Amino acid sequence: MADFAPGLVGAKASNLAKIASALPSWLSVPDSVALPFGTMEHALANSCNRGVLDFLHSRLAQVESARVARTAAAVSSTLAEIRQLIVSELHIDGELELALQKVLRLLARPDDDLTLLWNAVKRVWASKWTSRAFVSRARTGLSDAELSMGVLVQRMIPADYAFVLHTANPLALDASSLLGEVVVGLGEMLAGSAPGRPFCFALPKTGHPSAAILSYPSKRTGLFADRASPGLIVRSDSSGEDLDDFAGAGLYDSVAFGPIREEHVDYSTCSLLVDADFREWLLASLRQVATDVEAALGGAPQDIEGVVSDRQITLVQARPQVGVLVRPAPKHLSHDDDSSRPQQQPGS
């Protein structure tokens, strides 16, 4: 992470490096390594992948012609061909293989199967050409060549709960309150299409942490990592997730590998619902996370993702919150005013 810098990696990685050194000790970030912008182009340019690159160029030309002709089915099918080609036919060269072996060593997992990591990286790269991502870029005028696909590789945290925080409430258009969502288990249940709702709440950033509960959790299953060997998660970190007035986050895939199980969630024993003390601690802690991360990243609204494991909060990514115009926060929310900020972990 000491090498993460804007222009070399995306906002997820560069923001993670910023907050890692600025947060209080009760918060942590996972061990992380980035495959920087240009790594995918390096792989495609290798002589062993010449046929893949030629195919990619020809299919991208077909996609553009189909887009201009407004032939949606042709766009979708050709993009599917591109994704399949990247995942199944892109070969790893010796230099990149050594780099990926170094990734595993840096994350203290040298015995992991390199093939699993390589396949996960290719799936993240291939997500550049999903129909939703392609159409979204076309509508913003961002060309295919202008979008760089970086990759952020992290050790997975065996989460009891996962959360997303929008530090400026996008429903109320209000920078003085935050909006949060929480699910049981790993955060992929938040990003995925599994039926059900997360625990959703709005919370003022100052004053008494009285939350407005907008929905109670109803997702029937959760995803859980093995605590003894939780595996890795390979996250997209593109250059198109932090553009002005464009919420590009979530367009590209993240791929987890390792022993992950899906289990039925019994909400009758879920601490989030049945333990008022835990819920109060969690809401106060998430409010502190929101204000601390905003302060570490210059005071601008942020989208923050993290997990809770045995009451330890780990932040897995943060990126600028875009696509929402909010009323400015009152002056008393200034992060320079130490009197408005707890000096220890909430609930401790």
DSSP state string for 203-261: EESSSS---EEEE----SEEEEE-SSS--EEEEEEETTSSBTTB--TTSS-EEEESSEE
Choose among 292, 290, 284, 289: nearest CA to 335: 292
Are 134 and 179 part of one and the same domain?
A: no
Report residue 227: phi and psi, to 5°.
-70, -30
CA atoms of 185 and 225, how far apart (whole Å): 8
Beta bridge partners of 200: 181, 215
Which one has a higher pLDDT value, 28 or 247?
28
Domain boundary (147, 170, 189) is at 147
Q: According to the model, what pLDDT value does residue 243 have?
A: 62
pLDDT mean over 97-122: 93
123, part of any domain: yes
Asked if residues 16 and 29 have their Cβ atoms less than 8 Å apart, the reply is yes
Q: Which of 147, 175, 203 is the last residue of a domain?
A: 147
Task: Read off the tokens for 23.
Answer: 């947060």
pLDDT, tens digit (0-9, with 9 covering 90-100), for 60-100 = 999 999 988 889 999 999 999 999 999 999 999 999 999 99
- 211 and 305: one domain? yes
Per-residue pLDDT at 26 exceeds 90: no
Q: Return all residues near 208 (Cβ < 8 A) that are at least 6 apart.
A: none
Q: At which of 147, 175, 197 does a domain end? A: 147
Q: Is the pLDDT of residue 347 over 70?
A: no
DSSP letter string over 59-71? Answer: HHHHHHHHHHTT-
In a domain, 7, yes or no: no
pLDDT for the residue 334: 40
317 and 196 within one domain: yes
Residue 266 corresponds to which tokens in the numbers above? 């019994």
Same domain? 134 vs 227:
no
Rounded to two decimals, what is the model's pTM?
A: 0.82
Are residues 320 and 184 both part of a single domain?
Answer: yes
For residue 332, the tally of other CB atoms under 10 A from its CB is: 12
Domain co-membership, 187 together with 260 = yes
The reported pLDDT for the residue numbered 248 is 58
pLDDT for residue 339 is more than 60: no
Residues 6+ apart with CB under 8 A from 211: 201, 202, 203, 283
The number of folded domains in the chain is: 2
What pLDDT does 242 receive? 61
**How would residue 348 be classed by pLDDT, with cut points 50, 70 and 90?**
very low
Q: Average per-residue pLDDT in the chain?
A: 87
Amino acid at 13: A
Do residues 206 and 340 lie in contact, with contact meaning Cβ atoms separated by under 8 Å? yes
Rounded to whole angstroms, how far apart are CA atoms 289 and 232? 24
198 and 326 co-located in one domain: yes
Contact in structure between 97 and 105 (CB atoms under 8 Å) = no
* 330 and 268, same domain (yes or no): yes
Q: CB of 288 within 8 A of CB of 176?
A: no
Residue ranges making up the domain that contains 114? 38-147
Residues 80 and 224 in one domain: no
Q: Which amino acid is at 222?
A: G
Number of H helices, E strands in the chain: 10, 13
**Residue 33 domain-assigned (yes or no):** no
Q: Does residue 152 form part of some domain?
A: no
Q: Return the biggest CA–CA distance within the chain.
A: 62
Any domain includes 273? yes
Question: Percentage of residues in the chain with pLDDT exceeding 90?
Answer: 57
Q: Please give the sequence-ordered ranges of beta strands (E in DSSP) within 58-135, or none if there are none.
A: none
pLDDT tops 50 at residue 336: no
Residues 2-11 pLDDT 10s: 899 888 998 8
**Do 175 and 137 share a structural domain?**
no
Contact yes or no for 150/167 (Cβ under 8 A): no
DSSP-H helix ranges across 127-157: 131-140
Quote the CA–CA distance of 77 and 157 in Å, as a whole number.
Answer: 36
Stretch among 100-114, 157-171, 204-218, 244-258 having the lowest mean pLDDT: 244-258
| Collapsed DSSP state (helix, strand, coil) of residue 340 | helix
Residue with tokens 């992470």: 1
Residue found under tokens 């601008």? 300
CATH number at residue 267: 3.30.470.20
Tokens representing residue 65 in the block: 């012609």
Residues in the chain: 348
DSSP 39: H
Residues 309 and 282 both lie in one domain: yes
Are 320 and 260 found together in one domain?
A: yes
pLDDT for residue 343: 37
CA 283 from chain centre, in angstroms, equals: 21
Banded model confidence at residue 244, pLDDT cuts 50, 70, 90 = low
Query: In angstroms, rounded to a whole number, what is the distance separating the alpha carbons of residues 205 and 337?
Result: 13
- Is there a contact between 13 and 318 (Cβ–Cβ < 8 Å)? no
- pLDDT for residue 24: 81
pLDDT in tens, 179-199: 999 999 998 888 777 889 999
246 assigned to some structural domain:
no
Mean pLDDT of 35-49: 95
Q: Which band of pLDDT confidence, cut at 50, 70 and 90, is reported for residue 341?
A: very low
Query: Which is higher by pLDDT, 329 or 13?
Result: 13
Residue 178 within any structural domain of the chain: yes
Residue 202 resides in a domain: yes
